Amino acid sequence: MTREKANEALVHAMRKHGISAIAKATRLLVEARRTRSPAATGDVVLNKKEEAYRVQDAVYAELWPGIRPVAWKVGGPSDKVEPTAAPIAPGSLQLSPASVAGAAMRMIGVEAEVAFRLAKDLPSRTRPYSERSVAAAVGEVLVAIELCDTRLANWKKTSGLWKLADCQNSSGLVAGSGTKDWQKIDFLQQEVEFKIGARTVKAKGAHSFGNPLRLLPWLAAHCAKRGLGLHAGDLITTGAWTGLEIAKPGDEVTARFAGIGEATLRIT
C-alpha cells in the first residue's frame, strides 16, 4: 500500500473512531521498531480486526513509504475460523542458507512452512478468485522458515488484535528450495522434518488448513480490500506445520519437506 493511501485510511479511521486507538497503536509500534524497545500497550484497546489491519497499514506506510509488499504471511489455527494476514517487512526476506543475529531479537521463534511463489498477477478485483484460478497463477512451491519476534512488551498477555496489528509476530522469512511440479504434492500426506539445534520435530499432513493453497484465494480478497493486488514474483507463506519453536544463539535451523525442498538458518 502506498503511503498516501495508508495515510488516507488512517485519517478516515481517526475521524470515525477518534484519534485514540489506531493512531496511538501506530505510534507505539513505529517507535518500537525504530528503537528496538518493546511497546507497552497499556490502556490502548483495539476492538476489531479492521482496526488491527489499519494499524498494520499505517505502520508499514510510515516505515517503508512507497514500497509495495512482495511477501505475505497468511494462516490460522483451523479452517473453521477466518485466517489472518500480514505483510513481511522489506529487507527481512532472505535466501537459504541464511543467518540472523539472535541478540537483536527478544523472542527467537522459528516455524517450518510451505510458501507459494506467484508466476502471474492476481490483480485487485471485486469478484473473488477461485482456488482453481489461484492455482493457475502459482509458479512454485518452496520451503520457508519464518522468523517470529514481538514488538510488544507483554506479548503473552496482550490481545490477539494487538498481535495482529504487530504483523502476527513476523520478523523475517528465509526462502529455501522448492519445486515447480507442485501440483503433484499431496499436502494431506506431506512429511516435514524440522531441526532446531539438537532437537528434531517431525510431522505428517499437519497443516491446519489441510491444503495450504486454500488460503490464497482468501488472501487475494483480503489484499483487494486493502487496495492491493498480488503480483508475479510475490511470495506467500502459509503457516507453521509443527508449531512455533524457540531457538537460541548458536542453533542451526533446518526445515525439510520431503519432495519439495529445504531451508536452513543459523542463529548467530
Q: What share of the chain is helix, strand, coil (3-state, %, to 5)?
A: 30, 30, 35
- Taking only the tens place, the pLDDT of each residue in 176-191 is 999 999 999 999 999 9
Confidence of residue 43 (pLDDT cuts 50, 70, 90): confident
Comparing 6 with 237, the larger pLDDT belongs to: 237
Of 39-43, 58-62, 140-144, 157-161, the range with the lowest mean pLDDT is: 39-43
CA quadruple 243, 240, 160, 3: dihedral sign: positive
pLDDT of residue 17: 46
Q: pLDDT, tens digit, for every residue of 158-173? A: 999 999 999 999 999 9
- The rounded mean pLDDT for the chain is 93
137: left (phi over 0), alpha (psi -120 to 50) or beta: alpha
Whether residue 19 has pLDDT greater than 90: no
* Cβ neighbour number for residue 212 with a 10 Å cutoff: 23
Give the strand pairing for 98-100 and 261-267. parallel
- Amino acid 1: pLDDT: 55
Closest to 207 in 3D by CA, of 246, 242, 235? 242
The percentage of the chain sitting over the pLDDT mark of 70, rounded to a whole number, equals 93
pLDDT at position 4, please? 56
Cα dist from 179 to 142, 148, 188, 189, whole Å = 6, 25, 17, 17
Count how many Cα atoms sit within 13 Å of the Cα of residue 258 in the half-sphere of its side chain. Answer: 12
Q: Is the pLDDT of residue 246 over 80?
A: yes
CA 148, 240, 90, 53 dihedral sign is negative
Place of cell 493486488: 229
Say whether pLDDT at 13 is over 80. Answer: no
- Per-residue pLDDT tens over the stretch 254-265: 999 999 999 999
Q: How many CA atoms lie within 13 A of 166 on its CB side?
A: 25
State the Cα–Cα distance between residues 57 and 125, nearest whole angstrom. 19
Average pLDDT value for residue range 106-111: 96
Which H/E stretch holds residue 265? Answer: strand 261-267
Per DSSP, the three-state class of 72 is: strand
Q: Which of 51, 262, 56, 152 is nearest to 253 (CA)?
A: 262
| Contact yes or no for 213/131 (Cβ under 8 A) | yes
Pairing of strands 235-240, 71-75: parallel
Query: What is the distance, to the nearest Å, from the Cα of residue 12 to the centroid of all Cα atoms in its chain?
Result: 26
User: Would you say 163 and 171 are in contact if contact means Cβ atoms under 8 Å apart?
Assistant: no
Domain 68-267, architecture per CATH: Alpha-Beta Complex (3.90)
Cα distance between residue 30 and residue 47, in whole Å: 20
Q: What is the mean pLDDT of residues 37-59?
A: 94
Judged on CB neighbours under 10 Å (0-12, 13-18, 19+), 248 is: exposed
The residue-averaged pLDDT of 207-220 equals 96
